[in-house]
Amino acid sequence: MNATPAPARVTVNGRSYAWPRGPVVVVCVDGCEPDYLTQAIAAGRTPFLASLRDRGTCLTADSVVPSFTNPNNLSIVTGVPPAVHGICGNYFWDRDAGAEVMMNDPKYLRAPTLLAALADAGAKVAVVTAKDKLRALLGHRLSGICFSSEKAAEATKATHGIDDVLALVGLPVPSVYSAALSEFVFAAGVKLLERERPDVTYLSTTDYVQHKAAPGIAAANDFCAMMDGYLARLDALGATVVVTADHGMNAKTDAFGRPNVLYLQDLLDHAYGAGTTRVILPITDPYVVHHGALGSFATVYVSSPVTAADAGARIAALPGIEEVLAREDACARFELPPDRVGDLVVVAERLSVLGTSRERHDLSGLDVPLRSHGGISEQQVPLIANRRANTLPPGRRWRNFDAFDLALNHLS
């Protein structure tokens, strides 16, 4: 029993948060382009979300670019951009190690999470994520509950703060490629709120459905309807609920549904010779079946005699390119850590994605036209609450990583 009274506020990474006055649930809906909700509401599939028009708050916020899962989830739980917390992709070129490595180890995290700070100050905190790849980062130094749908059966009191998750949730362990993986997250959130009554809960889903189905398509509306039911239950249990997304999602195809891919490594090798440049795609991770590791963001390392200026000009002239920025300009604009970004940052347009070499991308798993993210065109996401906001600063540029600020500091 913690006898210490709760503090009035907690300050983390230079931002101050009011102590939760009741249970707070922040939901990161992976790949939730705002239009998914618009279409589902218009189709009458999401009565709870529709009801928030009168009694809640609806903002449009900017995610972090690269508009990928890990940089944005870590921004949401730290309240700061990757320049501060360090996680700017799933994958990067570790210059110290001289190797391309996954960035999902907490050793790469440079800032504490708000979740851990709240727990240290006496709050009961619970985190549920769809894919296990995020669990170690989200749960870094967290004294509380933290598990994934993917490995729910393996959760133990000692390492995850909870055991027997399957009995609690009442659903089987879902396939990692399924809508059920996200449904498990919502169902667990509801059951945890009923049984454990956490002060703060963070739920993070997976974008399996969004990679396959455009807004308004049956599978997308079914997903939103499923989510709506669980959000309504969280609301009925008295929680303050804030829903945002890590990034949007767009078709990356031509009118025939064929992927618009610029294979940057092939193009640069052709221009300069193999081994003179290195194209890194931070979307790369162990789960690439639904997007073939193709996204709209890449970073490029060049070595002498190739110059960043020459390679940048060459890339900028290609069709489908939205921006080519030198490292310092990209890091200033997108708030990224310079030591984990190449000499150039390349962002593709809405309908295009960037690849390395053609033979390094297995597109055989794409059974529907490619939809992906990573660019500026997937930066805008919903930021929605089930309470009215009474003190919103006029003209503020909201970010998805203001979700906890909105939940704790601005809602009535």
Residue nearest to Zn ion (CB): 69
Query: Looking only at residues 109 through 138 of this chain, which bind Zn ion when binding is defined by CB under 5 A?
Result: none
Nearer to Zn ion, 111 or 130 (CB): 130
Q: Could you tell me how many residues of this chain bind Zn ion (CB under 5 A)?
A: 4
- For residue 285, state whether it binds Zn ion (rule: CB under 5 A): no
Stretch near Zn ion under the rule CB under 5 A, chosen from 30-38, 76-84, 131-139, 185-193 = 30-38
Stretch near Zn ion under the rule CB under 5 A, chosen from 50-58, 67-75, 260-268, 323-331 = 67-75
Rounded to whole angstroms, how far apart are CA atoms 305 and 177? 44
Minimum distance from residue 29 beta carbon to Zn ion (Å): 9
Within 302-356, where are the H helices?
Answer: 308-316, 327-334
Strands 250-251 and 91-94: unpaired
Rounded to whole angstroms, how far apart are CA atoms 104 and 90? 6
Residue among 33, 150, 199, 207 that touches Zn ion (CB under 5 A): 207
Buried residues in 1-27 as b, exposed as e (16+ CB within 10 A): eeeeeeeeebebeebebebbeebbbbb
Residue among 30, 33, 378, 402 that touches Zn ion (CB under 5 A): 30
Q: Of 78, 403, 120, 325, whose CA–CA distance to 86 is shortest?
A: 78
Nearer to Zn ion, 283 or 300 (CB): 283
Residues 6+ apart with CB under 8 A from 209: 179, 182, 219, 220, 223
Nearer to Zn ion, 30 or 335 (CB): 30
Nearer to Zn ion, 249 or 279 (CB): 249
Minimum distance from residue 228 beta carbon to Zn ion (Å): 20
Minimum distance from residue 30 beta carbon to Zn ion (Å): 4
Rounded to whole angstroms, how far apart are CA atoms 204 and 309? 39
Rounded to whole angstroms, how far apart are CA atoms 290 and 359? 17
Nearer to Zn ion, 149 or 265 (CB): 149
Within 57-215, where are the H helices?
Answer: 69-78, 82-85, 114-120, 135-138, 157-160, 165-169, 180-195, 208-212
- For residue 402, state whether it binds Zn ion (rule: CB under 5 A): no
Minimum distance from residue 401 beta carbon to Zn ion (Å): 14
Rounded to whole angstroms, how far apart are CA atoms 342 and 402? 28
Minimum distance from residue 400 beta carbon to Zn ion (Å): 11
Nearer to Zn ion, 30 or 228 (CB): 30
Stretch near Zn ion under the rule CB under 5 A, chosen from 115-123, 185-193, 242-250, 343-351 = 242-250
Minimum distance from residue 134 beta carbon to Zn ion (Å): 10
Minimum distance from residue 28 beta carbon to Zn ion (Å): 8
- For residue 69, state whether it binds Zn ion (rule: CB under 5 A): yes
Rounded to whole angstroms, how far apart are CA atoms 399 and 72? 10
Minimum distance from residue 246 beta carbon to Zn ion (Å): 4
Residues 6+ apart with CB under 8 A from 329: none
- For residue 246, state whether it binds Zn ion (rule: CB under 5 A): yes
Residues 6+ apart with CB under 8 A from 129: 73, 135, 138, 146, 147, 148, 149, 185, 203, 204
Query: Looking only at residues 321 through 380 of this chain, which bind Zn ion when binding is defined by CB under 5 A?
Result: none
Minimum distance from residue 167 beta carbon to Zn ion (Å): 29
- Which residues in this chain contact Zn ion in the complex, by CB under 5 A? 30, 69, 207, 246
